[in-house]
Structure 1
Amino acid sequence: MVAATLYGAIPVALLAAWGIGLLVAVGYSARADIRLADAGNRKIIYSEMKSHALMTAGKGALWSVGMILAALFADIGAMGIVWAAAAMLVVGSCASRFSAPLSSMAFAGAVGIGGLVASLMAMQWTLAAVVVGTTLLATFGVVESARVAVAARLSDYAMQEKSEVVSMLLREFEEGQADWLWQIDTQRRLKAISPRFAYALGKEPKEIEGKSFLQMISGDGWETGQFPPSLHDLTDKLTRRENFSNLGVRVSIGGEDRWWELSGTPIIDELGNYQGFRGVGSDVTEQRESSEKIEFLARYDTLTQLPNRRMLNEALGEALAHADRWRSRCAFLMIDLDRFKAINDSLGHLVGDRMLGEVAARLESLVGDQEICGRLGGDEFAVVIPDASDNGRVEFLARAIIERLSEPYEIENHVLYVGASVGSAIGPRDGKSVEEMLRNADLALYRAKDRGGGMHREYEPALHANAEERRQLEHALRHALENDEFTLHYQPVVDTRSEDVVSFEALLRWNSAQHGFVSPGKFIPLAEDTRLIVPIGTWVMQEACREAAQSWPEHVKVNVNVSPEQLLEPDFAATVVRALSHSALDPKRLEIEVTESIFMRDASIARQALEQCMALGCSIALDDFGTGYSSLGYLRKLKFSTIKVDRTFVQGAAQHSPESIAIIRAVVAMAESLDMTTTAEGVENEEEAAMIRGMGCTKIQGFHFGRPMPAEDASALFSRRLENQRRERA
């Protein structure tokens, strides 16, 4: 239509070229529209939107070319016809293509720019203003239409989602068996009974219509007047006509106690008159029982049914608060079973668990009504005494606990014995917080067990100082090896007859940079408790073997003490092999000294490790024989080369104790029959040496023949002996 109108006014070639170009652009645009026909069912990517907008802008540019051609070759009327057609297309695009706002604005912008240029070329200022206004209005119209369309679509989606959620909830409510509706009138009588509510009451709907709601759910309490507190709460809500939600109510249905969860709201008519209550309810008995079970597990020990650590801490905290408020005293007793681990290891955890149950029963029989006993964990128990104003109550209860728990237990045809140690702390004197009370009672318990167990110790401030000293000592001990603070001293062991040195016992010494010289009696037990004895013992083994190989005659042995903790290491034999190979020491010159305590823990592992060392050629000495359990079965299980008689028997024999003399003679006779040598420790003078020699001991060790000495002094002994021998020969 536009081309026919402009025919004759514009050169035919230009008009034909313009018309063909416009047709081509329309064709390409149509193809692009066809490709986007499924835009409502998939996600449109940015490149597709950009391509469509550029193509639409191209169409608008061609329309602009038509208006410019009309301005150049035709009159104002022809240009107006072209603008009218283009403006019609702009309006149509804005009205129909608001879902593609970028393309509509691109088309309107391209047409507007062309119309403005053509109007200015023809100096039609009014038309120029109309073109600009039309373009702006079209652009704003597209933006607003697109916004409204998007908002409407989002609203549809939201409504559809809400409808689906409501439908799902209604479907679950109709299909479920847990929830039901209830309704009562102003007299609290049931009305509009739903089948599921009747089922929850165990009745038919017609049986309960018009019956009292409270009567139906109170069971026997309706006759006796004894209602659970939760039913009183429900009655108060109904009386005050208050909304309530998720109210837990204990009901009685058919003689069985159940838990219901009720929600309700008062019914008010259009005149504001109260018409009753309606609401929903569900049976939550199983959930309630599960919650109660979880709460029980969180606060009670499942094995003994006693309060656990958490509940004991809470009780102790309340006792401390009460004591602080009323200026009174409370107490905390920490109890640990003695020798329980041996029973658990030998007879199994089943017997051990039954014994813990028996211990719990005995403890419960001893504590008072206001006192709380519980299990902290393992074989540790505790008692909280909220009122410890009676000074003798703590001591009396502690002694009663020790005596009662030390009585024999009969479990699965076994008569078992364990002891008990008790540590106590008085609050708020010994601690104003739960943590302080636990720590101080534990310190007192540690001191009681350190003294042999079977006793009660109260907390003293000195215990905290000792614990702090022990902590600092442990910290320093952990760095002693890397700081090269350890040295070895050697005490000679001589032949009884010739008094020649046959071996040296390696003794560890620690000169700490922080604490100075520390006694072995203090740091060796600490090293064993913290298992630092393993790396320290490895260093002792290597250093002793190196010194013996480099500085001593080939007939002199070195004796190295080995802790049970070292023997439990799986690579102990490998440690001995490395020490021997690095030092090139003959295995026959190494004698490993152990005590009877190695057989009290994992005896099979310790025995296997020692047998591997014996296979290398090393000898094994049993140290401190007679001071422990002294079971002769140990001598049968392992082929010891030497039995060392403890110094206590030597000193006793020196004081003419018949028991000590008899023990030494018996040990010597037994060792000779088993082809073992004997070493008497603690010989301090010539008289004791002569006595031991007369009793038949093979070797002697003590201050009479030499105190523990540095490695240089030990080597010098042989140098002086050689020099003396040369002089005697000369």
Structure 2
Amino acid sequence: MSQTSSNTVVDAETLTARQVLGLASVDGVDWARLHGHQYSLVSKRAVVRAMLHALAFALVAGVAIPTVNPLLVVAWGCALGLSVVHAFSLDKRLRNAEMRRFNQDDVRAHAMTSANKGAVWSLGVVALATLGAQQQLSSIWIILCFLVVCSTSSRYSVPLSTIAFLAAASVGPLIVALMHSSFLLAGVIALTMLLGSLGTFEMARMRVGGRLSELAMQEKSEVVSMLLREFEEGEADWLWQVDPNRKMRSVSPRLAFAIGKQISEIEGQPFLQLISGDSWKTGQFPPSLHELAEKLKRRESFSNLTVKAVISGERRYWELSGTPMLNDSGSFIGFRGVGSDVTEKHESSEKIAYLARYDTLTQLPNRLMLTEALGGALEYSQQWRSRCAFLMIDLDRFKAVNDSLGHLVGDQMLGEVARRLKPLVDEGEVCGRLGGDEFAIVVRDATDRKRIDTLAKTVIAALSAPYHIENQVLYVGASVGSAIGPRDGTKVDEIIRNADLALYRAKDEGGGVHCEYEPSLHATAEEKRQLEFSLRTALENDEMMLHFQPVVDAKTEEVVSFEALARWNSKVHGFVSPAKFIPIAEDTRLIVPIGTWVMNEACREAATNWPEHVKVNVNVSPEQLLEPDFAGTVVRALSHSGLSANRLEIEVTESIFMRDAGVVRKALEQCLALGCSVALDDFGTGYSSLGYLRKLEFTTIKVDRMFVQGAAQDSPESLAIIRAVVAMADSLGMTTTAEGVENQEEADLIRRLGCTKIQGYHFGRPMPAADARKIFSRGALKSA
């Protein structure tokens, strides 16, 4: 493509003299293409100009020979012939000026050659007039004037050379006319030279302006041709055209290839029939084809219209643009447009849209789609004064499976959960996954309240059945919380929040149940939020305190240790039960700084105010054990307080092994290495306690109060469990502590069953540190 800028528009009237003469370039225009073309035209008339020079010389010689020495004429003729031959050879070399690197130096060289040729003519005329042909000067000028006019008309494309020849050829005759006082002839010569130069300049200006326009049009044509060629050569683009009857006309090869037929098979066929497949016979067109037909029928322009086409039995998606065509009289003659196959793009868009709305693991609708479904259900219920429902489902004990067996097994279990949920929902109900192990069901019409409870119980039963994964039988349960719209909220986020609150209540009740939302749940949640806010500053405000409950020897009833229990007396909420603030601390991980404070304060109290044989028992949360420097926390508490390591007993529950068992085991082993004791609290309330005893060498096993109370009521199962625990502890070299002993009869029973230590209200309730210091004798305990 040329270097001419398609945005450059040059008016011939604005060209400068230097630009017209070829001594300066035009901005944005290839100089060689502009002036090279002009000079290449000179070579086409070189022979004619040489013949004109020969004819003019013959006429001048015929006029001058009778009065001038013939030898002079011959000599002048030889000189003129040499200059004409030189100019002729130079003109012939310019035939490829447009193609080669033609420049301004070439323009000046050609002008100099033309001036030399004119000078030879001028000097010859002066010599002839001086040596005897004075009377024939007018005739000679007429002949020379004929030569100048012919030369000017044949060399208008090279204005600088033409003007140089004209000026050089006219100088001699003008000088002779002035020397012989032929002022009229001198004026004619001067006027001819001036008018010839101006005429040549104006013709050149028009020619250069025309050439500029020609180059601009040529470039535009090249650009259009290139774009059309690229368009036609594109792999998925084509041109299409239909007549007023919507039949194909001027079928392009690309369109024929896209349809999969020969051009002759397509020409004259209805456009819609070619792309509609079997639906042409049935009349059951896709909506997109209906839209296209309407556009063509109403003769409306359209752009980027995606239509569903059937080509050779295969579904394709085409993107079409079209505009109506009108003839010179304004009559409609059909449609013309462009099209492209966007099947891959459309399918990619569909896949992206699917991924945005469906969970990739379970293939169920994701949170976004569930939210949209719930929004639609709320609108429907408000419009028709009905009810909708949102059930939030959470798997029980799934985290234990995921942590112990790995995410691969966990993912397989989630897939199985999805397969069990799908058949449970009816038409108008949407089941999906919110994330993690949380699922949800949107019920569009919940007018039948029994349906919600029945569906929830069905879900719990289905998800609680055994799972057979990787040659293992696994068990998890499910808890369900539900909210009814618009009773429990008129907005999507309100319904979801309230169902979540109901789910929390179901989990708090032990899981495996369905709870509906109640307004009191919101009040409870708000209370928890406020408690959490205050709990974050409890240590800073010195609101935390420790109470101590004694643990006595079962035989002697001597105090062997105190269990340190955290208490919170809030400045805002007053005394807050541990049953309320401990779970909040666990959920927010505030239990870590609180647990560290308890460890430090308990060790300091025991080291400072208790006898050396009395231990302190400190409960430790799983969150604390997962801290990388838990053993360092214990070491600092012992060193700062001065308490011996053998006087500190760390109490943990079975729930510690539901997290990262390896980290927990390492932390407790480091504490045992320091000399501390480790007690397993609430033994028997889990489902694999014996396995935990095998994993770690505990010092003490604490029998849960539910077994103590059961034994006091002569429950055979509780009695058998306590005897088994005592026997197992004795064989493993561990001590046993019975919790929840509230009277002397229970104490005697526990003593007969063989427990080593006893803890309960019978020997003392949790009390402030000052009161604990007063009961280090058996008598004081008996009177407590």
User: Normalising TM by the smaller chain, what interval?
Assistant: 0.7 to 0.9
Secondary structure at 2:261 match in 1: coil
Q: CA deviation at 1:684?
A: 2.9
Q: Which residue of 2 aligns with 1:403?
A: 461
Name the counterpart of 1:288: 346
**Structure 1 position 467 matched with structure 2 position 467:** no
Partner of 2:200: none
C-alpha distance 584-180 of structure 1, shift in aligned 2 (>3 A): same
1:421: Cα distance to partner?
1.4
Partner of 1:444: 502
Q: Offset at 1:160?
A: 12
Superimposed CA distance per residue, residues 384-440 of structure 1 (whole angstroms, 9 cap, x where no aligned partner): 111111221111211222222222333343333322211111111011000110001
Q: In structure 2, what is the equivalent of residue 120 of structure 1?
A: none
Q: 1:253 aligns with which of 311, 315, 327?
A: 311
Letter in 2 for 1:404: A
Asked if structure 2 preserves the Cα contact closer than 8 Å seen for 1:332 and 1:383, the reply is yes
Following the alignment from structure 2 to structure 1, what is the Cα–Cα distance between the partners of residues 333 and 252?
19
1:201 corresponds to 2:249: no
Distance in 1, matches of 2:737 and 2:26, equals: 102
Shift of 1:212: 2.5
Counterparts of 1:126-205 in structure 2 under 5 Å? Answer: 169-170=227-228, 172-205=230-263
- Look up the match of 1:327: 385
Give me the whole-angstrom Cα distance separating, in 1, the residues matched to 2:450 and 2:270: 60
Give TM-score, length-normalised by structure 1.
0.74
Deviation of residue 181 (structure 1)?
1.0
| Aligned pairs for 1:11-160 within 5 A | none
Residue matched to 1:696: 754
Unmatched tracts of structure 2, length 5 or more:
1-23, 29-212
1:518 Cα deviation (Å)? 0.9
Counterpart of 1:491 in structure 2 is 549
Note if contact 2:388-2:447 (Cα within 8 Å) is conserved in structure 1.
yes
Q: Which residue of 2 aligns with 1:393?
A: 451
The Cα shift of 1:516 comes to 0.6
1:170 CA displacement: 4.2
State how far apart, in whole Å, the 1-side matches of 2:273 and 2:224 are.
35
Counterpart amino acid of residue 508 in structure 1: A
- Counterpart-to-counterpart distance in 1, 2:445 and 2:674: 65
Q: Deviations over 1:132-176 (max 9, x none)?
A: xxxxxxxxxxxxxxxxxxxxxxx9xx9999999867744532442
SS in 2 for 1:324: helix
Which residue number corresponds to residue 90 of structure 1? none
Q: Structure 2: how far apart are the matches of 1:384 and 1:575?
A: 48
**Superposed CA RMSD:** 2.8
Amino acid at match of 1:684: E
Question: 2:107 is matched with which residue?
Answer: none
1:453 aligns with 2:474: no
Given the alignment of the two structures, is residue 417 of structure 1 paired with residue 491 of structure 2, yes or no? no
Partner of 1:628: 686
Residue 263, structure 1, aligned to residue 321, structure 2: yes
Amino acid at match of 2:242: I
Which structure would you say has the larger Rg?
Answer: 2
SS of the equivalent of 1:716 reads: coil
Residues 24-44 of structure 1: CA distance to partner in whole angstroms, max 9, x if unpaired? xxxxxxxxxxxxx99999xxx
Deviation at 1:370, TM superposition (A): 1.4
Equivalent residue for 2:625?
567
User: Which amino acid is 1:400 matched to?
Assistant: T
Is 2:297 the partner of 1:231? no
Q: 1:176 & 1:643 partners in 2: Cα distance?
A: 80
CA distance in 2, matches of 1:335, 1:392: 18
For 1:721 and 1:398, the matched residues in 2 are separated by 56
Amino acid at match of 1:367: V
Residue number in structure 1 paired with 2:402: 344
Q: Would the alpha carbon gap of residues 236 and 656 (structure 1) be closer, same or farther in structure 2, given more than 3 Å must change?
A: closer
Q: CA deviation at 1:340?
A: 2.1
In the alignment, the residues of structure 2 paired with residue 284 and residue 224 of structure 1 have an alpha-carbon distance, to the nearest angstrom, of 26
* Among 536, 542, 547, the residue aligned to 2:605: 547
Q: Paired residue for 2:699?
A: 641
* Alpha-carbon distance in 1 for matches of 2:499, 2:661: 33
- Structure 1 contact 419–453 (Cα < 8 Å) conserved: yes
2:725 aligns to what SS in structure 1? Answer: helix
When structure 1 is superposed on structure 2, of 433-442 and 411-420 the one drifting more is 411-420
SS of structure 2 residue aligned to 1:717: coil
Distance 2:661 2:747 in 1: 35
Give 1:356 deviation, angstroms. 2.2
8 A Cα contact 1:493 1:503, kept in partner: yes
**Superposition deviation, residue 556 in structure 1:** 1.5
8 Å Cα contact 2:232/2:238 also seen in 1: no
Shift of the alpha carbon at 1:542? 0.6
The residue number in structure 2 matching 1:378 is 436
Higher mean C-alpha displacement, 184-193 vs 567-576? 184-193
Secondary structure of residue in 2 paired with 1:381: strand
* Greater CA drift, 203-212 or 270-279: 203-212
Residue type at the aligned position of 2:650 = I
Which amino acid in the other structure matches residue 543 of structure 2? E
Give the superposition deviation at 1:205: 2.3
- In structure 2, distance between residues paired with 1:499 and 1:160: 114
1:560 positional shift: 0.7
| Structure 2: distance between partners of 1:265 and 1:366 | 52
* 1:355 aligns to 2:404 (yes or no): no
Query: 1:526 aligns to what?
Result: 584
The total of aligned residue pairs comes to 574
2:578 aligned partner, one-letter code:
P
User: Shift of the alpha carbon at 1:178?
Assistant: 2.1
Q: What CA deviation, in whole Å up to 9, does each residue of 1:43-101 have, x standing for no partner?
A: xxxxxxxxxxxxxxxxxxxxxxxxxxxxxxxxxxxxxxxxxxxxxxxxxxxxxxxxxxx
Cα separation, 2, equivalents of 1:230 and 1:544: 77
Q: Indicate yes or no: 2:540 matched with 1:482.
A: yes
CA distance in 1, matches of 2:583, 2:218: 76
**Is the CA contact (8 Å cut-off) linking 1:359 and 1:405 kept in structure 2?**
yes
Return closer, same or farther for 1:184/1:631 CA change in 2, 3 Å cut-off.
same
Residue 708 (str. 1) matches residue 772 (str. 2) = no
Find the counterpart in structure 2 of residue 95 from structure 1.
none
**160 and 378 in structure 1: CA distance in 2 versus 1, 3 angstrom threshold:** farther
* 400 and 165 in structure 1: CA distance in 2 versus 1, 3 angstrom threshold: farther
1:62 corresponds in structure 2 to none
Cα distance in 1 for residues equivalent to 2:747 and 2:469: 52
User: Where do residues 649-688 of structure 1 align in structure 2 (5 Å cutoff)?
Assistant: 649-688=707-746
2:62 is aligned to: none
**Is 1:219 aligned with 2:219?**
no
Contact kept in structure 2, 1:596 and 1:629, CA below 8 Å: no
Give the counterpart letter for 1:235 in structure 2.
A
After superposition, the Cα gap between the structure-2 partners of 1:257 and 1:498, relative to the gap in structure 1 and judged at 3 Å, is closer
Letter in 1 for 2:330: G
Q: Which residue of 1 aligns with 2:299?
A: 241
CA–CA distance in structure 2, aligned partners of residues 411 and 218 of structure 1: 48
C-alpha spacing 1:359/1:663, structure 2 compared with 1 (3 Å): closer
Amino acid at match of 1:362: R
Deviation at 1:267, TM superposition (A): 1.4
Map of 1:115 onto structure 2: none
Matched, 1:617 2:646: no
Give the conservation status (yes or no) of the 8 Å contact 2:600–2:641. Answer: yes
SS of residue matched to 1:374: strand
- Measured at CA, do residues 540 and 216 of structure 1 come closer, stay the same or move farther in structure 2, by a change above 3 Å? same
Structure 2 residue aligned with 1:538: 596
**Deviating more after overlay: 223-232 vs 297-306:** 223-232
Contact (CA 8 Å) 1:599, 1:606: kept in 2 or not? yes
Q: Which residue of 1 aligns with 2:331?
A: 273
Q: State the Cα deviation string for residues 221-261 of structure 1 (Å, max 9, x = none).
A: 33333322222222222222111111112212222111111
Whether the 8 Å contact between 2:243 and 2:333 is mirrored in structure 1 is yes
1:655 Cα offset (Å): 3.6
Higher alpha-carbon deviation: 412-421 or 161-170: 161-170
